[in-house]
Amino acid sequence: MTGPSRVLVLSPAFHGYWRPLERALTGLGHGVTTVRYDEHRGLGRVAAKLGHDLPERLGGADSRRRALLGARARAAVTGHDPEVLLVVKGDAFDDGFWELVEQRRQRRVLWLYDELRRTGHTEVSLGAAGPIASYSPLDVAALGARGLRAAHVPLAHDPDEPLGPPRPTDEVVFVGARYPAREALLTGLAARGVPVRAHGRDWSGHPVDRLRTWRLGTPRVAAGRDLTRPDAYAAMAGARATLNVHGDQDGFTMRTFEACGVGAVQLVDRADVSRYYEPGTEVAVFDGVEEAAELARRAATDHAWATGLRRAGAARTRGEHTFTHRARALEALWTA
């Protein structure tokens, strides 16, 4: 079946994925209902922190949560009776949800924005999910080798998300979670005289953020608290440059497309970004802290080069890497 469909999106509550996807699918003419299956409100957030996050850190079983989220997802499917079911991540459901999906025999797609090894998916869930779209080329190959239908659908930029107030600064910024490799890079840049600033709860020294992230200390890097998405876009666009550090991933983060999309000078740690952007023309690739420092200094002095990166990266993103492009790829999977 082709043409507009009634689409139910089951997504984690993090709006960076569901909101732009909802807008893109609606823009293609589909009627879209989104259910954020792990959303908590008010005191529910505190209960979730104590009832899920803490036991998870201590190695506690998660079967109750899987049963709860599976029941929510089943209720959403039976209540909305969609023509198409699009599940984003979806690794937190019990087997009962996937049994229901198979029984309904409806069109469906699973979209993964992380490597399979970091999810809770099982043979049961992957076998029942229908076509699987993944940001990971290695996972796509592995799933295909297992006889499952899989396609590479990377992440994207949301051009409809507005920029916040301009944040012009001579700093090199990083927006995202704190991992050892990222911290080592930022502290290394700071030690070499490059002005850097990290934004996010994992970096912030605010007491609330330290409590939320279960830590006592703070890294030796200038830091700010979490930014809203518009403010994060503004911070990246207004900075001397923005860092994109991956580490142990073969897929590319959403930041890869967002940084270029908002016209930032993106310094990225992977040469295989050439799958999406032209190194040296649309992004700047570094290998190690010394090269990152050299590029950061060039961004401050070679204005023609920096401006060229900003313009070319933004143009490439608008032409190939928006959520509308990804929505069309997902649509092709459920209509084939």
Task: Give tens-digit pLDDT for 119-154.
Answer: 999 999 999 998 999 999 999 999 999 999 999 999
- Is 48's pLDDT higher than 60? no
Q: Does 1 map to a domain?
A: no
- Is 334's pLDDT higher than 70? yes
Q: Are residues 150 and 259 in the same domain?
A: no
Across all residues in the chain, what is the average pLDDT?
90
Q: Are residues 32 and 139 in the same domain?
A: yes
- Region 157-181: what's the mean pLDDT? 92
- Region 265-270: what's the mean pLDDT? 98
- Is 61's pLDDT higher than 90? no
pLDDT attached to residue 164: 87
pLDDT attached to residue 221: 87
Count of C-beta atoms within a 10 Å radius of residue 180: 8
- Region 11-40: what's the mean pLDDT? 92
Lowest-confidence pick of 42-56, 80-94, 102-116, 223-237: 42-56
Q: Are residues 300 and 328 in the same domain?
A: no
Q: Does 147 map to a domain?
A: yes
Q: Which residue has the higher pLDDT, 217 or 304?
A: 304
Banded pLDDT at 206 (limits 50, 70, 90):
low
Residue 7: beta bridge partners? 32, 84
Q: Are residues 271 and 301 in the same domain?
A: yes
Q: Are residues 183 and 236 in the same domain?
A: yes
The CATH number that applies at residue 86 is 3.40.50.2000
- Long-range CB contacts (< 8 A, 24+ apart) of 148-152? 149/333, 151/329, 151/333
Backbone angles phi, psi at 307, to 5 degrees: -65, -40
Q: Does 94 map to a domain?
A: yes
DSSP state of 52: I
- Is 54's pLDDT higher than 70? no
Q: Are residues 242 and 121 in the same domain?
A: no
Contact 225, 205 (CB under 8 A): no
Burial 318-328 (b: 16+ CB within 10 A, else e): eeebbbbbbbe
Q: Does 216 map to a domain?
A: yes
- Region 52-64: what's the mean pLDDT? 53
pLDDT attached to residue 319: 98
Q: Are residues 192 and 136 in the same domain?
A: no
Banded pLDDT at 45 (limits 50, 70, 90):
very low
Q: Does 164 map to a domain?
A: no
3-state secondary structure (DSSP) of residue 42: coil
Q: Does 163 map to a domain?
A: no
Banded pLDDT at 76 (limits 50, 70, 90):
very high
Q: Are residues 209 and 250 in the same domain?
A: yes
Number of structural domains the chain divides into: 2
- Is 205's pLDDT higher than 70? no
pLDDT attached to residue 46: 44
Structural domain for 229, as ranges: 172-320
Q: Does 221 map to a domain?
A: yes
pLDDT attached to residue 149: 96
Q: Are residues 149 and 79 in the same domain?
A: yes
Q: Are residues 99 and 241 in the same domain?
A: no
Cα separation, 159 vs 231, in Å, equals 14
Q: Are residues 225 and 283 in the same domain?
A: yes
Q: Does 162 map to a domain?
A: no
Lowest-confidence pick of 38-42, 163-167, 251-255, 284-288: 38-42
Over the stretch 317-326, which tens digit does the pLDDT of each residue have?
999 999 999 9
- Is 51's pLDDT higher than 50? no
Q: Are residues 152 and 195 in the same domain?
A: no
Q: How far is the CA of 262 from the CAs of 227, 269, 285, 302, 309, in angstroms?
A: 15, 19, 18, 20, 11
- Would you say the pTM of this structure is higher than 0.85? yes
- Is 168's pLDDT higher than 60? yes
